[in-house]
Amino acid sequence: MKERAMSHLDESGRVRMVDVSGKPDTVRTAVARGRVIMSQETCRRIASGELAKGNVLTTAQLAGIMAAKKTGDLIPLCHPLPLTHVDVRFNLRPEEGAIEIEAEAKCVGKTGVEMEALTAVAVAALTIYDMAKSLEPEMRIEGIRLVKKSGGKSGEVVLK
């Protein structure tokens, strides 16, 4: 893999936010995924809405969307972006004891929305954990990763 210059450092080696003002606005999208691993029973109870804390998946979906909108406040050198779309989806796999999370973020801007999609997945996963930890504190959050991005000079990139 080709190493890129460390663009978050100025000529003196000090941390800085990258200046993107000269870049053109393009439609930017990013898709990220992750999983929460648990017992089949915990997954079944989340799916059926049997938890005393309420609807886990609706709460996690809202948490992921809200987190994407706040990414610039959470990641120190991340640009605050005017998001035009955020979606958080779940694929329940009770036979595997897993909930797969996928988030898509979109904007028209000068820099990508990878961090927003990744943050949405991470916070959705943390919300699932928080709401179900009394049932199963051994749950694991795994595999949070970027799977696709588009826009800007690199065009569409699909990752494994």
How do beta strands 157-158 and 140-150 pair?
antiparallel
Residue in 19, 25, 87, 130 annotated catalytic: 130
Q: How long is the chain?
A: 160
Q: Is 19 a catalytic residue?
A: no
- Please give the torsion angle defined by the CA atoms of residues 153, 20, 74 and 61, in that order, rounded to the nearest 10 degrees: -40
* SS3 annotation, 90-135: EEEECCCCEEEEEEEEEEEECCCCHHHHHHHHHHHHHHHHHHHCCC
Residues with a known catalytic role: 130
